[in-house]
Amino acid sequence: MEVGSLTATLEEKQQPESAKPDSNKDAHQAADSKGAKPAPERKRARNLSEDRRFKLFSGTANRPLADEIARHIGVKVGDAKLQRFADGEVYFQLLDNVRGVDVFVVQPTCYPVDQHLVELLIMIDAMKRASAARITAVVPYYGYARQDRKDRPRVAISAKLIADLLTTAGANRALFVDLHAAQIQGFFNIPVDHMFSSPVLVSHFRELNLPNLTVVSPDAGGVERARHFAQKMGAPLAIVDKRRTDINVAEVMHVVGDVHGKTCLIIDDIIDTAGTLVKTVDALIASGAAAVHACASHAVLSGPAIDRIAASRLEQVVVTDTVPLREAAQKLPKIKVLSIAGLLAAAIENIHLETSVSTLFS
Q: How far apart are CA 323 and CA 139, in angstroms?
A: 10
Output the DSSP codes for 169-195: HT-SEEEEES-SSGGGGGG-SS-EEEE
Is-catalytic flag, 242?
yes
- DSSP annotation of 273 reads S
Interacting residues of 144 by C-beta distance below 8 A, sequence separation 6+: 109, 113, 158, 159, 161, 162
SS3 145: coil
Interacting residues of 307 by C-beta distance below 8 A, sequence separation 6+: none
SS3 18: helix
Q: Which of 188, 177, 231 is nearest to 357 (CA)?
A: 177
Rg (CA), the chain: 21
Q: Which of 204, 152, 201 is nearest to 178 (CA)?
A: 201
Q: How far apart are CA 54 and CA 75, in angstroms?
A: 9
Residue 112: asked if its preceding bond is cis (omega within 30°), the reply is yes
Interacting residues of 16 by C-beta distance below 8 A, sequence separation 6+: none
Output the DSSP codes for 35-71: SSPPBP-S--PPP-TT-TTEEEEE-SS-HHHHHHHHH
**Of 37, 232, 242, 334, catalytic:** 242
- DSSP annotation of 106 reads E
**Strand blocks (E) in 95-164:** 102-106, 134-139
Q: How far is CA 338 from the centre of its chain?
A: 11
Q: Which of 108, 120, 109 is nearest to 167 (CA)?
A: 120
The catalytic residues are: 242
